[in-house]
Amino acid sequence: MTKNHLIYFLILVTTFAYGQVSKKDSIKEYEYKICVYKKGRAGQIIKNQTIGIGDTTIAFVSGQVFETKEAVPFVNISFTNSSGQKVGTITDNDGYYKINLKKDIYDISYQYLGNKEFNIKKIKLGSGQMQEIIIDLGIAPGYYNYLLSFKKPLSDKELKKLEKKLSDE
Protein backbone atom coordinates (compact mmCIF):
# COMPACT_ATOMS: atom_id res chain seq x y z
CA MET A 1 0.00 0.00 0.00
CA THR A 2 1.44 3.38 -0.94
CA LYS A 3 1.50 6.38 1.31
CA ASN A 4 -1.36 8.06 -0.64
CA HIS A 5 -3.52 4.91 -0.43
CA LEU A 6 -2.93 4.74 3.32
CA ILE A 7 -4.06 8.38 3.78
CA TYR A 8 -7.25 7.79 1.69
CA PHE A 9 -7.94 4.61 3.68
CA LEU A 10 -7.63 6.48 7.02
CA ILE A 11 -9.91 9.29 5.79
CA LEU A 12 -12.49 6.74 4.63
CA VAL A 13 -12.39 4.79 7.93
CA THR A 14 -12.61 7.99 9.99
CA THR A 15 -15.55 9.31 7.93
CA PHE A 16 -17.39 6.00 8.15
CA ALA A 17 -16.89 5.76 11.94
CA TYR A 18 -18.13 9.31 12.61
CA GLY A 19 -21.07 8.83 10.25
CA GLN A 20 -22.16 5.72 12.13
CA VAL A 21 -21.94 7.42 15.54
CA SER A 22 -23.94 10.49 14.51
CA LYS A 23 -26.70 8.38 12.93
CA LYS A 24 -26.90 6.19 16.00
CA ASP A 25 -27.00 9.09 18.48
CA SER A 26 -29.39 11.37 16.61
CA ILE A 27 -32.84 11.77 18.17
CA LYS A 28 -35.55 13.39 16.12
CA GLU A 29 -37.37 16.17 17.92
CA TYR A 30 -40.38 18.23 16.91
CA GLU A 31 -40.23 21.92 17.77
CA TYR A 32 -43.29 24.09 18.25
CA LYS A 33 -43.31 27.87 18.50
CA ILE A 34 -46.32 28.89 20.53
CA CYS A 35 -47.44 32.46 21.23
CA VAL A 36 -50.15 32.99 23.84
CA TYR A 37 -51.78 36.04 25.39
CA LYS A 38 -51.78 36.18 29.17
CA LYS A 39 -54.22 38.47 30.97
CA GLY A 40 -51.69 39.16 33.67
CA ARG A 41 -51.94 38.74 37.39
CA ALA A 42 -51.26 41.22 40.15
CA GLY A 43 -48.49 40.53 42.61
CA GLN A 44 -49.36 39.28 46.05
CA ILE A 45 -47.90 38.70 49.47
CA ILE A 46 -47.58 34.97 50.05
CA LYS A 47 -46.26 35.29 53.60
CA ASN A 48 -45.59 38.21 55.94
CA GLN A 49 -44.87 36.76 59.36
CA THR A 50 -42.75 37.42 62.40
CA ILE A 51 -40.70 34.26 62.83
CA GLY A 52 -38.84 35.22 65.98
CA ILE A 53 -37.55 37.90 68.32
CA GLY A 54 -33.87 38.36 69.06
CA ASP A 55 -32.06 40.22 71.83
CA THR A 56 -30.74 43.05 69.67
CA THR A 57 -31.60 46.60 68.60
CA ILE A 58 -31.91 45.83 64.89
CA ALA A 59 -34.61 44.03 62.90
CA PHE A 60 -33.90 41.17 60.49
CA VAL A 61 -35.91 40.84 57.28
CA SER A 62 -35.58 37.85 55.00
CA GLY A 63 -37.69 36.20 52.36
CA GLN A 64 -37.97 35.02 48.80
CA VAL A 65 -39.41 36.44 45.58
CA PHE A 66 -41.35 34.38 43.04
CA GLU A 67 -42.93 34.92 39.65
CA THR A 68 -45.47 32.26 38.71
CA LYS A 69 -44.02 29.64 41.08
CA GLU A 70 -40.42 30.26 39.92
CA ALA A 71 -37.86 31.93 42.17
CA VAL A 72 -36.62 35.23 40.71
CA PRO A 73 -32.96 36.24 40.97
CA PHE A 74 -31.69 39.84 41.03
CA VAL A 75 -34.87 41.60 42.16
CA ASN A 76 -34.12 45.08 43.53
CA ILE A 77 -35.69 45.58 46.94
CA SER A 78 -35.70 49.01 48.59
CA PHE A 79 -36.80 49.83 52.12
CA THR A 80 -37.81 53.44 52.83
CA ASN A 81 -38.18 54.37 56.51
CA SER A 82 -40.55 56.94 58.03
CA SER A 83 -37.98 59.75 57.61
CA GLY A 84 -37.48 58.98 53.88
CA GLN A 85 -34.10 57.24 54.14
CA LYS A 86 -33.64 54.35 51.71
CA VAL A 87 -31.62 51.20 51.98
CA GLY A 88 -31.75 48.20 49.68
CA THR A 89 -30.71 44.72 48.72
CA ILE A 90 -31.18 42.26 45.85
CA THR A 91 -32.27 38.65 45.67
CA ASP A 92 -29.66 35.95 45.08
CA ASN A 93 -29.72 33.29 42.33
CA ASP A 94 -32.50 31.41 44.16
CA GLY A 95 -34.67 34.47 44.82
CA TYR A 96 -33.72 34.78 48.52
CA TYR A 97 -32.86 38.04 50.24
CA LYS A 98 -32.00 39.26 53.73
CA ILE A 99 -31.26 42.61 55.28
CA ASN A 100 -30.72 44.12 58.74
CA LEU A 101 -32.65 47.32 59.50
CA LYS A 102 -33.15 49.76 62.36
CA LYS A 103 -36.55 49.56 64.06
CA ASP A 104 -39.00 51.79 62.18
CA ILE A 105 -41.96 51.74 59.82
CA TYR A 106 -40.98 50.89 56.24
CA ASP A 107 -42.41 51.00 52.75
CA ILE A 108 -40.93 48.15 50.72
CA SER A 109 -40.58 48.20 46.95
CA TYR A 110 -39.77 45.14 44.81
CA GLN A 111 -38.65 45.90 41.24
CA TYR A 112 -37.78 43.46 38.51
CA LEU A 113 -37.26 43.87 34.77
CA GLY A 114 -40.50 43.19 32.89
CA ASN A 115 -42.74 43.56 35.94
CA LYS A 116 -44.54 46.44 37.49
CA GLU A 117 -43.23 47.60 40.80
CA PHE A 118 -44.73 45.69 43.73
CA ASN A 119 -45.07 47.69 46.94
CA ILE A 120 -45.86 46.93 50.55
CA LYS A 121 -46.75 49.97 52.66
CA LYS A 122 -46.22 50.62 56.34
CA ILE A 123 -44.50 47.49 57.65
CA LYS A 124 -43.59 48.09 61.30
CA LEU A 125 -40.33 46.46 62.40
CA GLY A 126 -39.35 46.39 66.06
CA SER A 127 -36.05 45.79 67.84
CA GLY A 128 -34.90 42.19 67.42
CA GLN A 129 -37.86 41.32 65.20
CA MET A 130 -37.21 38.58 62.62
CA GLN A 131 -39.65 39.09 59.76
CA GLU A 132 -40.11 36.77 56.79
CA ILE A 133 -41.72 38.27 53.68
CA ILE A 134 -42.35 36.08 50.64
CA ILE A 135 -43.98 37.61 47.59
CA ASP A 136 -45.14 36.65 44.12
CA LEU A 137 -44.51 39.44 41.61
CA GLY A 138 -47.37 38.33 39.38
CA ILE A 139 -47.07 38.71 35.62
CA ALA A 140 -47.61 41.61 33.28
CA PRO A 141 -50.36 41.23 30.66
CA GLY A 142 -49.14 40.60 27.11
CA TYR A 143 -48.01 38.06 24.56
CA TYR A 144 -45.55 35.38 25.62
CA ASN A 145 -43.54 33.20 23.22
CA TYR A 146 -42.51 29.62 23.93
CA LEU A 147 -40.24 27.27 21.98
CA LEU A 148 -40.98 23.68 23.01
CA SER A 149 -39.48 20.39 21.84
CA PHE A 150 -41.15 16.98 21.86
CA LYS A 151 -39.99 13.53 20.77
CA LYS A 152 -43.23 12.92 18.87
CA PRO A 153 -45.47 15.18 16.82
CA LEU A 154 -48.47 16.68 18.63
CA SER A 155 -52.03 16.46 17.36
CA ASP A 156 -54.15 19.59 16.93
CA LYS A 157 -56.06 18.63 20.08
CA GLU A 158 -52.81 18.30 22.08
CA LEU A 159 -51.57 21.67 20.76
CA LYS A 160 -54.82 23.43 21.77
CA LYS A 161 -54.61 21.87 25.24
CA LEU A 162 -50.97 23.00 25.56
CA GLU A 163 -51.82 26.55 24.43
CA LYS A 164 -54.63 26.75 27.01
CA LYS A 165 -52.33 25.48 29.76
CA LEU A 166 -49.64 28.04 28.88
CA SER A 167 -52.08 30.95 28.71
CA ASP A 168 -53.60 30.03 32.11
CA GLU A 169 -50.26 29.84 33.97
We report the CATH number of the domain holding residue 56 as 2.60.40.10
**Structural domain of 159:** 27-42+139-169
Residue 14 lies inside a defined structural domain of this protein: no
pLDDT tens for each residue of 138-161: 877 788 888 888 888 888 898 889
E strand intervals along 8-117: 30-38, 44-53, 58-67, 70-71, 76-80, 86-90, 96-102, 104-111
| pLDDT tens string 36-60 | 888 877 888 889 898 988 888 899 9
Helix (H, G, I), strand (E, B) or coil at 95: coil
Task: Identify whether 15 is part of a domain.
Answer: no
Q: Is residue 1's pLDDT more than 60?
A: no
pTM of the full structure: 0.65
pLDDT at 67 over 80: yes
Regarding whether 143 and 132 lie in a shared domain, the answer is: no
165, 95 Cβ separation under 8 angstroms: no
Looking at 23-32, 41-50, 103-112, which range is the least confident one? Answer: 23-32
- The residues, ordered by sequence, that sit 6+ positions from 11 with a Cβ below 8 Å of its Cβ are none
**How many degrees, rounded to 5, is the angle at CA 159 between CA 153 and CA 162?**
120
Q: Reduced to 3 states, what is the DSSP secondary structure of residue 32?
A: strand
Q: How many CB atoms lie within 10 A of CB 16?
A: 10
Mean pLDDT across 20-36: 67
Let me know if residue 16 belongs to a domain: no
